[in-house]
Structure formats: structure tokens, C-alpha cells
Amino acid sequence: WLGVLERPLASPPRPESALVSVGPGSRKHPSGIQRAGMLHARKSGESVIQRWPYEAPPCAVRYCALCAYEGGSWSAWMGCSSSIQAALEGRLSGLLQHAVQVVAAGRTDAGVHAAAQAFHFDAAPTADASLIRRVLMHGLPSSLQVYRVGVAAAGFHARLSCLGKRYVYRLLVGAGALWELPFCWSVDGCQSLDVERMSAAATILQGEHDFRSFCRQETSGKSCADPRGPVRHLWRLQVLHDGQATSPGECVGTQRILVVAEGDRFLMHMARMIVGTLVQVGRGRLQVSDLAALLRRKQRSDQVVNAPARGLMLDRVFYAEQHEAVLDCSSPAPQATGLPGWPRVADFEIPSTLSLYATSANPEAQETDGVHVI
């Protein structure tokens, strides 16, 4: 009877430290990790009024995975309860019965899609990779699919081990099918873009440059807040088209263009701003020579246009051979970019002379890495 009398008659209030804000003036909700921690507390009879920081389970095994998602259905990769990261963490935490932290290769903006986003998480050694994949395939919204899960090789970190990324942007001029519209930028007007001029401008941006002119400017006035600096190596920037007539100003029925960008890292909105500026060149509003002047400016100007997020897709993430073998990144994903009527993206060999990004996951790098990187 003493135990019954000492038991609280109502559920205790949620601790403020276990809540996360989802926006100005909005209600606060626990994240996926915090919900799992509080659920475990209730089941084990422990006090719920405590903070549940993430801790890797004892003798944890690192798992790596590939997922695809339709970005228009999500707020972003991370940042609030409707993010992709929160959905994965909530589902994995419920399956594994302990708090799970998901770390991705890159943090895509709201509206950006992915065909092969890589991420990792730590779980108890008793977890089965094939079971995790099956549960995730059937327990997530249709706009998010996890299609590969495996035990990671030694030293793997989804973000710090990443050697580079490939982004693909779709441009549609003229009429297109309804299913295409959520995945491309339907450029206003029926006048075709000059693909030859766009390709010439893309050649200027290839290589290692200071890309401060093509990243979002901070409210503090800084054009780049990445602690690693604004220099990026863009080893591929290619403009592909479907073979339709592309003479400047010519009115066409439909013109489909792919802009393929591969590089070691990308600043925030860098890929979208490059595409938006190339479209300005294709329309004749900018000259090819203006691109070199924009690079030298090292600060964003009104000539740099930010393309809509819905046309951008993270197509592939590059890793060293031992990590590629587990993730099988080289094989086409079920959501590959080879859609009917669109040009296909051929694999492009990474230059052997490329100074690859450091793969050591040291604590200091984890604190500062990934700031404003998509």
C-alpha cells in the first residue's frame, strides 16, 4: 500500500530540457532521440524528469545506410520534428529500444531531393542489418525509403569519410508531364536556353575556386561562415540536354536540361546558385565572361540567382573503396536520375590528383565540420 500511495496520480510534466522548438511561437515537441529516452524511462520505472542525452550503446556496432527521399514532403534533412533525420531516428529508436543518432553525409535544404543519401547510426551488436532494412522499408512514409543497410567498415563516418558528392539539377523549358514538375525547375517562357553558352560558362567554374560569390550571405554580413573556408574543388560541372533545338530565343515544345555538379564539398546553396546563374547565361542576360568576374568578386551580387530547391537532387556520395563496397554506391539506386525523356548521367572518374577531404573523424572536426554545407 505504501508503494501505491507514493505512486504519482498523474503523469509528471515533460522536462523543458527534453523538448525542442520547431519554430518561432510554435509548440515544443521532443525529438526522436528524446522520445525514445522518455519511453524507455516509463517502461523501466525510472523518473521521467531527467534529460536523456544520446549515448552509444555498450559495444555498439556502426551501421551505414543509403536512403532516398522526395524533398517536397519534408522540412529539411534536420532541424525540426518534421525533418528526415527525426523520422529516421524515431523509427530506429522504436525498433532498437534505445536512443539512436543518425548522421548524414550532407544536410539537404527543404525541398531538395536525394537518390542516394548516406547516413550512419550506432546500435547494439545484436541488431540485424537485413531486419532493420525491412522494418524501415515498411515503417516510413512513402516519400522516404531506406534501401541499403550494412555493417560499416572500420573508421567509417558518413560525413567525415565522404570524399565528394554529385548533385543533379533538372531544368524544364516548355510543357512537361505532371509527374516531372515536382522534380524540376519549370523555367518561365517557351524560349529555349542556349546550352552551348551554358556549357562554356560551366567550364569557367570548374576547378578549385573561392565560391563565396555563390553561397548564401549570412545576416552578420559574412558571405561564408564555414570554418573550413570558401575554397571548393568542383571537378565536374556539365550541362546535358535531350537533343532538342537549343538556338537562342527559339521557341520549342519541350527542352530538358541536366546540370551535373561533382565536387569535394559544397557551400550552402552553392549548387543552386551556380545553376541559377547558368540559366541567366542561357537566357542571354549574362555573358560567359561575366562568370570569371563573379568569381573574382568573392561576394554575392544581384547577378547570382538562386534556383528553386525542387530541381536539385543529391545523386551520389563518394567514399573510399572499403566503404563503397559496403554501401554499394556505384550501383544504380531504385530512384536513379535516369528518368524517361531525360538525359542520363554517366559516371565521371574522380581525378587521381585530387586532394581528398580528410577522412579522420576527430572530435574537433566533428564540432566544426558541416557548417552550412548541403
Tens digit of each residue's pLDDT (9 = 90 or more) over 72-130 = 899 889 878 889 999 999 999 988 888 899 999 999 999 999 999 999 999 988 888 88
Residue with cell 567509417: 156
Confidence of residue 334 (pLDDT cuts 50, 70, 90): low
Listed in order, the ranges of the chain carrying CATH 3.30.70.660 are 164-317
Higher pLDDT, 244 or 253: 253
For residue 152, which of 369, 374, 362, 359 has the smallest C-alpha distance?
359
User: With respect to CATH, is domain 55-151 assigned 3.30.70.580?
Assistant: yes
- Residue among 109, 226, 315, 369 flagged as catalytic: 109
197 within 8 A of 257, measured Cβ to Cβ: no
User: With respect to CATH, is domain 164-317 assigned 3.30.70.660?
Assistant: yes
Tens digit of each residue's pLDDT (9 = 90 or more) over 218-236 = 643 455 556 677 899 999 9
Position 330, amino acid: S
Q: What is the pLDDT of residue 143?
A: 92
The mean predicted confidence, pLDDT, of the chain is 75
- Section 12-28 average pLDDT: 36
Question: What's the longest Cα–Cα distance across the chain?
Answer: 87
Count of CB atoms within 10 A of residue 139's CB?
14
What Cα–Cα distance (Å) separates residue 365 from each residue in 300, 330, 352, 362? 27, 27, 24, 5
Count of CB atoms within 10 A of residue 24's CB?
5
Tens digit of each residue's pLDDT (9 = 90 or more) over 138-147 = 888 999 999 8
Confidence of residue 177 (pLDDT cuts 50, 70, 90): confident
Q: Provide the sign of the torsion angle of the four alpha carbons 329, 331, 332, 333, taken in this order.
A: negative
Task: Decide if 264 is catalytic.
Answer: no
Higher pLDDT, 332 or 296: 296
CA distance 252 to 173: 8
Listed in order, the ranges of the chain carrying CATH 3.30.70.580 are 55-151
Tens digit of each residue's pLDDT (9 = 90 or more) over 34-44 = 444 444 434 44
Confidence of residue 14 (pLDDT cuts 50, 70, 90): very low
What Cα–Cα distance (Å) separates residue 199 from each residue in 209, 215, 233, 279, 338? 18, 21, 18, 11, 21
